[in-house]
Amino acid sequence: MVIGVLALQGDFAEHKQKLAECGAECFEIRQLKDLERKFDGLILPGGESTVIGKLLREIDLFEPLKKKITDGLPVLATCAGMILLAKNIENDNTVHFGTMDITVKRNAFGRQLGSFHTSSEMKYIGEVPMTFIRAPYITECSGAEILAETDGKIVASKQGNQIALAFHPELDECIKIYEYFLSLCSDD
């Protein structure tokens, strides 16, 4: 199984490490020619969603990746990656991929000083550690399934083969989320 990891910004190296721990082969997606390689799933890491969205368009990755996602490529999106998948962003008219029927609120848990760690139950997986860094959360899940909540806020959702997380599983020792994601990638 081969997973492409968007490597324009964020914790892509940490995601690659987690995938390796699960026995998956992975590679970095940095330019259009990287999409010529066959892959079974995609990681959209955290970072700054506005910058990532701009870079995706500047290097002509946006449309080909969006097509792969809409065609059913499994995606695990964390933090800024979740914002990229959202159909709506509160107080912002920007839409990036817009492939998940969710509304997100950017920096909803606060700025850098509002970062925190907790654990919570996640549907299909069980209890998982959750590290939030300037994290968004989901304010509305109209067509997506809620997978996890923290303090009454939706922090994980799933729609089809897309999983969106407000937190950073790559920063915790647990690999259960990656194992679940890889099971979606092998269902094809």
Q: Is residue 113 scored above 90 in pLDDT?
A: no
19 or 116, greater pLDDT: 19
Catalogue all structural domains in the chain, each as residue range(s) with its CATH number: 2-185 (3.40.50.880)
The CA distance from 168 to 62, in Å, is 23
130: three-class secondary structure by DSSP: strand
Amino acid at 3: I
pLDDT in tens, 41-100: 999 999 899 999 999 999 999 999 999 999 999 999 999 999 999 999 998 999 999 999
* Neighbour count for residue 155 (Cβ, 10 Å): 26
Quick one: pLDDT at residue 186? 87
pLDDT of res. 71:
97
Exactly one of 14, 26, 168, 185 is catalytic; name it: 168
- CA separation for the pair 11, 7 (Å, rounded): 8
Q: How far is CA 184 from CA 7, 91, 126, 179, 180, in A?
A: 22, 33, 16, 9, 7
User: To the nearest whole number, what is the mean pLDDT of the chain?
Assistant: 94
Report how far apart, in Å, the C-alpha atoms of 17 and of each of 20, 40, 97, 108 are: 5, 17, 26, 28
Predicted pLDDT of residue 187: 63
Question: Span 8-12, mean pLDDT?
Answer: 89
For the question of residue 168 being annotated catalytic, the response is: yes
Indicate the pLDDT class of residue 10, thresholds 50, 70 and 90.
Answer: confident
| Other beta carbons within 10 Å of 126 | 10
Catalytic residue, chosen from 14, 15, 96, 170, is 170
Share of the chain above pLDDT 70, in %: 96
Distances (CA, A) of 97 to 11, 17, 61, 117: 20, 26, 11, 28
Q: What's the confidence (pLDDT) of residue 109? A: 72
CA distance 147 to 155: 8
CA distance 103 to 98: 10
State how far the Cα of 100 lies from the Cα of 84, in Å rounded to an integer. Answer: 9
Task: For residue 109, give the 3-state DSSP assignment.
Answer: coil
Closest CA to 1 of 49, 43, 33, 57: 43
Tell me the per-residue pLDDT of 13-39, one tens digit each, with 9 for 90 and over.
999 999 999 999 999 999 999 999 999
The confidence score (pLDDT) of residue 114 equals 60
Pair of tokens at residue 186: 């092998």
Closest CA to 24 of 184, 188, 178: 178
The pair of three-digit structure tokens given for residue 42, joined into one six-digit string:
């995609």
Residue carrying the six token digits 């997973």: 3
- Mean pLDDT across the stretch 127-133? 95
**pLDDT band at residue 110 under the 50/70/90 scheme:** low
- In the set 26, 79, 141, 185, the catalytic residue is 79
